């Protein structure tokens, strides 16, 4: 299983970015996908998740209303649309996936088996 994240960059306060994550190596029909982020000196934190089979979505309070997670089952991809970006959104963003995630653990990094390399998002003030 491989995950490839892309789409990061340097933007200004209030701008938008779209991150993409492509999964390969097997069928992901029963896999859940999530985005996490990690800023320098901080722990990795949950951003958003989507259930692969039924498209239920979950968000951290800090991004709710600004970020949207989506997925394309046919292409084995997931995306994170980020609007109204703030300097505090600056971090390395990771996509992660795992099969049959227990819903109560959807915000826990340790619940995900597979991780991609991060893509840097930097928001200048």
pLDDT at residue 35, rounded to an integer:
98
Distance CA 42, CA 73 (A): 32
- In tens, the pLDDT along 40-91 reads 999 999 999 998 776 799 999 999 999 999 998 888 899 999 999 999 999 9
Q: Which residue has the higher pLDDT, 17 or 26?
A: 17
| Contact (Cβ atoms closer than 8 angstroms) between residue 16 and residue 29 | no
């Amino acid at each position: 299983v491989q995950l490839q994240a892309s789409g990061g960059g340097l933007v200004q306060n209030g701008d938008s970015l779209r991150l993409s994550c492509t999964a390969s190596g097997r069928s992901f029909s029963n896999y859940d996908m999530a985005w996490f982020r990690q800023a320098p000196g901080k722990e990795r934190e949950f951003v958003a998740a989507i259930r692969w089979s039924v498209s239920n979505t979950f968000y951290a309070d800090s991004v709710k209303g600004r970020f949207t997670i989506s997925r394309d089952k046919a292409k084995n991809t997931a995306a994170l649309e980020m609007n109204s970006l703030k300097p505090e959104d600056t971090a390395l963003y990771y996509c992660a996936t795992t099969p049959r995630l227990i819903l109560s653990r959807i915000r826990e990094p340790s619940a995900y088996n597979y991780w991609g390399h991060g893509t840097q998002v930097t928001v200048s003030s």
